[in-house]
Amino acid sequence: MKHTLFALSGAVALMASTQVQAEQSIVVGHTLSPDSHYSVGAEAFIAKLEELSGGEFTGSEAPAGQLGGERDMIEGLQIGSLDVVITSTGPLGNFVPEVYALDLPFLFRDYDHARAVLDGDIGDELLAKINENQLVGLAWSENGFRHVTNSQRPVRTPADLDGLKLRTMENRVHMEAFSEMGAAPTPMAFPELFTALQQGVVDGQENPVTVITASKFWEVQGHVSLTGHVYSPAVILAAPSLIEGLTEEQRSWFYEAAAASATATRAEVNRLEEEGVALLRENGMEVITDIDKAPFAALAEPAYAVYTDQYGSELITRIQAVE
């Protein structure tokens, strides 16, 4: 009897090791078009994973919301139906409320500040929080500073937002901030956005230059105001069921691939920050650059309570203190 059991467990171990060695195909999902900064990141992830694993893992990209919106994809990771997702933090606060700290308006001074926070202790601590919620946070990546676009009028002051039907992400902090600033926020998943703008279901939306260009929003929006009202982090997430089944070495390949992906994405964000505004103008958008941010920031301030009511302001003070 004992003998049979041993033989059986030996067979199971053999099967398991054969499985590990068989080629595994990983799908990387995101909402943006195949020529976006997320695609650059997805390609870098796949290339690095294939290189490090010597082909034990191969990868393919599912762009343009093929696997659903960001909230759907996060749920997919939790139940193990998806592998790896590059997402903004937009809907992530619904799953990991601590992450709302990063979505607060007018918190980050500039790209250097945001990247220093995400690459430091605070970024690590928030990845650990993500890991407590049936998700694996592999690395922080980047979406960019968000700006308001709309089809109605140039927005220069908060008064110009008055009554504007503005699509926001499914994010309580952002919705609160925009209603304080006078707009009528309408939360919506990204894959529905272009059509909603086209059909006038909403008047406007807000996204970084990277997303505005990759999505050709100039086809449906005449005005863009460089409000830079909030920094939009991206994060590379994986399914716990995938990561838990890996050896330590295999796991390290996923983390390294995610780091390479974030580096490539940030470089593309830098490029588009330099060249993107000209591209918006070339495509017929009126670009308002001279925005006085102070009155927007003053109005948006109560949105901080969405985070601070639950967690206090210690982390916010620490974020502000990062050089």
Least CB distance to ligand EAX at residue 247 (A): 31
| Least distance (Å) between residue 14 CB and ligand EAX | 43
How many whole angstroms separate alpha carbon 90 and alpha carbon 32? 14
Closer of 53 and 232 to ligand EAX (Cβ):
232
Residue 67's φ and ψ, nearest 5 degrees, are -100, 10
Tokens of 29: 């999902």
Which is nearer to ligand EAX, 27 or 52 (by Cβ)?
Answer: 27
- Compute the least distance from the CB of residue 212 to ligand EAX, in Å: 10
As a whole number of angstroms, the distance between CA 93 and CA 103 comes to: 9
CA 186, CA 200: separation in Å to the nearest integer? 12
Choose among 29, 27, 28, 30: nearest CA to 190: 30
Residue 265 in contact with residue 88, Cβ under 8 Å? no
Nearer to ligand EAX, 217 or 253 (CB): 217
Provide the b/e sequence for 206-219 (b: ≥16 CB within 10 Å). bbbbbbbbbbebbe
**147 close to 241: Cβ distance less than 8 angstroms:** no
Whole-number minimum distance, CB 205 to ligand EAX, in Å?
Answer: 7
Between residues 63 and 253, which has the closer beta carbon with respect to ligand EAX? 63
Q: How far is the CB of 296 from ligand EAX (least distance, A)?
A: 18
- The residues that touch ligand EAX, with contacts defined as CB under 6 A, are 31-32, 70, 87-88, 90, 143, 169, 190, 207, 211, 232
Pick between residue 169 and residue 181 the one whose CB is nearest to ligand EAX: 169
Minimum Å distance from CB 99 to ligand EAX? 14
For ligand EAX, which is the closer residue by CB, 101 or 196?
196
At closest approach, how far in Å is the CB of 32 from ligand EAX? 6
**Which is nearer to ligand EAX, 39 or 87 (by Cβ)?**
87
| Residue 131: count of CB within 10 angstroms of its CB | 15
Contact 213, 279 (CB under 8 A): yes
Cα separation, 290 vs 226, in Å, equals 8
d(CA 250, CA 217): 40
